[in-house]
A and B are shown apart, each in its own frame.
Chain A
Amino acid sequence: MLPSLVPLLPTENDWITFDIPSLIQNFWSATFDGLTFGAIYALVALGYTLVYGVLNLINFAHSEVFIVGCYAVFFTLSSLGFGPSAPRLDIWAIILNLLLALVLAMVASAVTAFLLERIAYKPLRQRNAPRLVFLITAIGASFTIQYLIYLWRGPSPELALTMFRPTPIFDVFGTIVDSQQLVIIIAAVIMMVGIDRFISKSRTGRGIRAVAQDPDTATLMGVNKERIIITTFVIGGLLAGAAALFYVMKIPSGVQYSGGFVLGIKAFAAAVLGGIGNVRGALLGGLLLGLIGNYGQILLGNSQWTDVVAFVVLVLVLLLRPEGILGTSLGRSKA
């Protein structure tokens, strides 16, 4: 009927292919790898979730807070003598070095988040600016930091550093779990649990929840709103710094001026998936998104599909359950 229209439909081999045998074969390794990525997403997602919970603002510049942490890790480790090949240090020296890098990255990210809040957001808050103004400022700030790094370090990724050689720890269903995956997942989960305890038990955490619930009433009850907001940004920065160390550990070649951007979107998608404004939701969403992304990547046969899959998940969550899996906001989560 319409012969000329037929070639508009792509043929099977130049469209998407589903490689199910490969997924079955690599299922467990994809699972552990996915959980590792998911732990990193979750840590970054917490920064989005906390700020969103308190200020109702998507802090677009959070991905740059994270990438500053990555650069801090890179510079710390390269000045400590780490290079592309695995270092010949004993295990305790490596742990000490990594802890130092962790602390410095957390400080760098937290300082970035702090400055960001003071310079970009505080003037707007004082003026009681509309949300659109906040969002545009956030994206502008993100852009500014990104291109400051670009002008300083250039477009190419930094030299890949190896922190330690992953050693097999145990195997599950014939798949080896190595020390790197274990370190990242365990450390991330410990931090998440710590933050959860902090938010639900400590005095400051109670303040954060109060401001998230109702800023005006919280102020009337004697909560220092400005201090709570700063604390929230700094906590987000600290976690992003920690995520930066694990990210550089997992993807050594990822230290690049634009490296935070896609990770930021994925982390945000994770936060929305778990329920934005919900601390436990960030952990759940991060781990789930890591798994989904990894399965999708193996199923579709190209590592770049991870990003697409994460995006599709975000849109689907918004379509089907916009409040996320766990759904409750920071303000309403139980004490």
Chain B
Amino acid sequence: MSMTDGPTPLQTAAAEQAAEDREASSKAPGRSSLRPQGKRKSGYFSDRWHALSRQQQWAFLVVVVVLAYMLPLINPPIITTEPGNNFALACFDMARFALIAVGLNIVVGYAGLLDLGYVAFFAVGSYVAAMLTSPDSPYLHIPYLWTLPVAMAVTMFFGVMLGVPTLRLRGDYLAIVTLGFGEIIRILATIIPAMKGQVGFQNVGHPPGDGADGTPIFSNSNGVPWYWLTLTIIIIVTLLVGNLERSRVGRAWIAIREDEDAAEIMGVPTFKYKVWAFAIGAAVGGLSGALFAGQVGFVNNQKFDVTTSILFLAAVVLGGAGNKVGAILGGALVSYIPLRFTAIAEYKYLIFGIALVLIMIFRSQGLLPARQRLLAYGRTALNKVTSRDATETKDMDKPPAGPDARAAGQRGAEA
């Protein structure tokens, strides 16, 4: 049997079929979650970004990161939130929201689970930090920085506790259970005496270190060090999440998001990975809560409204669910807009509520759509596919060349 003429018709047929499939899938109405339809509609910026070389990307990233670090020191004139809100503190708030959005993005964006009580995990993290460092609490005291991992562990535990009963079922139940949990945490903080209700915990700890004048570097009024700390944590968390996203876990999450039944049939242990997503998301929420408690220095039951959860959700959805850069951007925006435009701050809940509905109706993929490309194989595979697309028609009649293509041809012949 000759290698040259055997596979050719089959391959042509397969290619035609594939082209038809692609066309069909680009026309088919809304099948995938929250994301644009079709082949390469992942946005202008995304395309530009992937057109750059690796070195250019790194150079660009370094510039962005340096600029981000410098932001509160530069205090750019039009962007600044002053007068009205201290810009460094505003930067910290933006970073806090961005971190929360990165965490919530794991749950909502990757795994497609709707968590409406994310503020509860944030609250748990805050209370852990407060109860372990504040002089108002009678319990064990540990250094502030140690509360960050402890807060993550405790919130993760809560995430598993809440996730195990609900995640066995369809995703809708998770939404209402988390919504309830968000409210319950606040009520529990009110009625359980140990959590001190509205009195709360004062003088929550902060990282060590004193400035030249003897005052702590991480003071409540100075947002800059807190901002830097949070920004560093965001970068670390984003890198880790990026790795997860590209790993088996991330692929499992995306499979679950796209079609849970299909994922289950293909052998993805959906329940396990859903619990993972929920727990990891919760841990990031707890981390940001602990940071918030440290910066504000005071934790009581008034700070954790369930409505704040909806702001978090708006941040993820606005930025683009499933896209971590989008989540950071969305988080920063949701925090920034009310701080910058204080005239509309009063209406922020209304604005973001309407925004949620409008985004869902008109642009469900958000500002920066998630990458729908071949996550599993990364850019090399993508390039192969795109170059083959371009040359497909030309090369159709030629026999496949090169070992890879030969092997592919052989597989085609066997099929």
A307 CA / B186 CA spacing, docked (Å): 11
User: Quick check: A141 and B357 within 8 Å, CB to CB?
Assistant: yes
Other-chain residue from B173, B192, B317, B349 in contact with A136 (beta carbon distance below 8 A): B317
Assess whether A191 is interfacial by the CB under 8 Å rule.
no
User: Quick check: B349 and A304 within 8 Å, CB to CB?
Assistant: no
Q: Give the residues from 23 to 72 in chain A that come closer than 8 angstroms, CB to CB, to chain B.
A: 56-58, 60
| Closest A residue by C-beta to B190 | A304
Nearest chain A CB to B107 CB, angstrom units: 11
Q: List chain A residues, Cβ under 8 A from B172.
A: 56-58, 131, 135
Q: List chain A residues, Cβ under 8 A from B364.
A: 129, 133
Q: Which of B39-47, B61-69, B200-208, B305-313 contacts A (4 or more CB under 8 A)?
A: B305-313
A60 CA / B180 CA spacing, docked (Å): 12
Assess whether B24 is interfacial by the CB under 8 Å rule.
no
Q: List chain A residues, Cβ under 8 A from B190.
A: 304
User: Quick check: B169 and A318 within 8 Å, CB to CB?
Assistant: yes
User: Quick check: B180 and A265 within 8 Å, CB to CB?
Assistant: yes
Other-chain residue from B193, B194, B306, B354 in contact with A144 (beta carbon distance below 8 A): B354
User: Quick check: B176 and A58 within 8 Å, CB to CB?
Assistant: yes
Assess whether A151 is interfacial by the CB under 8 Å rule.
yes
How would you classify the secondary structure of chain B's contact residues: helix, strand, loop or mixed? Answer: helix
User: Quick check: B114 and A135 within 8 Å, CB to CB?
Assistant: yes
Q: Give the residues from 264 to 321 in chain A that come closer than 8 angstroms, CB to CB, to chain B.
A: 265, 268-269, 272, 302, 304-305, 307-308, 311, 314-316, 318-319
User: Quick check: B171 and A139 within 8 Å, CB to CB?
Assistant: no
Q: List chain A residues, Cβ under 8 A from B188.
A: 308
Assess whether A253 is interfacial by the CB under 8 Å rule.
no
Nearest chain A CB to B307 CB, angstrom units: 7
Q: List chain B residues, Cβ under 8 A from A16.
A: 192
Other-chain residue from A4, A268, A308 in contact with B140 (beta carbon distance below 8 A): A4
Q: Given contacts A135-B114, A136-B360, A139-B116, is CB(A130)–CB(B34) below 8 Å?
A: yes
Assess whether B270 is interfacial by the CB under 8 Å rule.
no
Assess whether B29 is interfacial by the CB under 8 Å rule.
yes
User: Quick check: A139 and B313 within 8 Å, CB to CB?
Assistant: yes
Assess whether B242 is interfacial by the CB under 8 Å rule.
no
User: Quick check: B114 and A129 within 8 Å, CB to CB?
Assistant: no
Assess whether A166 is interfacial by the CB under 8 Å rule.
no
Q: Mark A122-149, 1 if CB is under 8 A from B, else 0.
A: 0110011111110111011111101110
Assess whether B290 is interfacial by the CB under 8 Å rule.
no
Other-chain residue from B112, B140, B176, B350 in contact with A132 (beta carbon distance below 8 A): B112
Nearest chain A CB to B357 CB, angstrom units: 4
Q: List chain A residues, Cβ under 8 A from B346.
A: 151
Assess whether B30 is interfacial by the CB under 8 Å rule.
yes
A141 CA / B364 CA spacing, docked (Å): 15
A282 CA / B32 CA spacing, docked (Å): 33
Q: List chain B residues, Cβ under 8 A from A135.
A: 114, 171-172, 175
User: Quick check: A265 and B183 within 8 Å, CB to CB?
Assistant: yes
A150 CA / B396 CA spacing, docked (Å): 65
Assess whether B74 is interfacial by the CB under 8 Å rule.
no
Q: Give the residues from 302 to 357 in chain B that come closer than 8 angstroms, CB to CB, to chain A.
A: 306-307, 310, 313-314, 317, 346-347, 349-350, 352-357
User: Quick check: A123 and B173 within 8 Å, CB to CB?
Assistant: no
Assess whether B187 is interfacial by the CB under 8 Å rule.
yes
User: Quick check: A311 and B184 within 8 Å, CB to CB?
Assistant: yes
Other-chain residue from A128, A140, A151, A269 in contact with B360 (beta carbon distance below 8 A): A140
Q: List chain B residues, Cβ under 8 A from A130.
A: 30-34
Q: List chain B residues, Cβ under 8 A from A262.
A: 183
Assess whether B295 is interfacial by the CB under 8 Å rule.
no
Nearest chain B CB to A117 CB, angstrom units: 13
User: Quick check: A143 and B353 within 8 Å, CB to CB?
Assistant: yes
Q: Which of A7-15, A231-239, A327-335 contacts B (4 or more CB under 8 A)?
A: A7-15
Q: List chain B residues, Cβ under 8 A from A147.
A: 347, 349-350, 353
Assess whether A82 is interfacial by the CB under 8 Å rule.
no
| Closest B residue by C-beta to A262 | B183
Q: Given contacts A128-B29, A322-B168, is CB(A120)–CB(B357) below 8 Å?
A: yes
Q: Given contacts A144-B350, A308-B188, is CB(A133)–CB(B360) below 8 Å?
A: yes
User: Quick check: B32 and A311 within 8 Å, CB to CB?
Assistant: no
| Closest B residue by C-beta to A307 | B187
| Closest A residue by C-beta to B169 | A322
Other-chain residue from A14, A123, A305, A318 in contact with B177 (beta carbon distance below 8 A): A318
Q: List chain A residues, Cβ under 8 A from B34.
A: 130, 132-133
Assess whether B179 is interfacial by the CB under 8 Å rule.
yes
User: Quick check: A7 and B353 within 8 Å, CB to CB?
Assistant: no
A303 CA / B306 CA spacing, docked (Å): 20
A222 CA / B47 CA spacing, docked (Å): 47
A143 CA / B181 CA spacing, docked (Å): 17
Q: Give the residues from 254 to 284 in chain B that come closer than 8 angstroms, CB to CB, to chain A.
A: 257
| Closest A residue by C-beta to B33 | A130
Q: List chain B residues, Cβ under 8 A from A74.
A: none
A316 CA / B175 CA spacing, docked (Å): 16
Other-chain residue from B31, B114, B171, B177 in contact with A315 (beta carbon distance below 8 A): B177
Q: Mark A227-267, 1 if CB is under 8 A from B, else 0.
A: 00000000000000000000000000000000001100100
A60 CA / B352 CA spacing, docked (Å): 16
Assess whether A93 is interfacial by the CB under 8 Å rule.
no
Nearest chain A CB to B100 CB, angstrom units: 17
| Closest A residue by C-beta to B188 | A308
Assess whether A5 is interfacial by the CB under 8 Å rule.
yes
User: Quick check: B166 and A140 within 8 Å, CB to CB?
Assistant: no
Q: Given contacts A151-B350, A265-B183, A308-B188, is CB(A10)–CB(B171) below 8 Å?
A: no
Q: List 17 A-B contacts (CB under 8 A).
A: A57-B172, A127-B30, A128-B30, A131-B171, A132-B112, A133-B34, A140-B354, A140-B355, A143-B352, A143-B353, A143-B356, A147-B347, A147-B353, A151-B347, A261-B183, A302-B191, A304-B190
Going nearest first, the 4 A-B pairs with the smallest beta carbon separation are: A140-B356, A143-B353, A319-B165, A144-B353
- Interface residues of chain B, those whose CB is within 8 Å of chain A, are 29-34, 108, 112, 114, 116, 138-140, 162, 164-166, 168-169, 171-173, 175-177, 179-181, 183-184, 187-188, 190-194, 257, 306-307, 310, 313-314, 317, 346-347, 349-350, 352-357, 360-361, 364
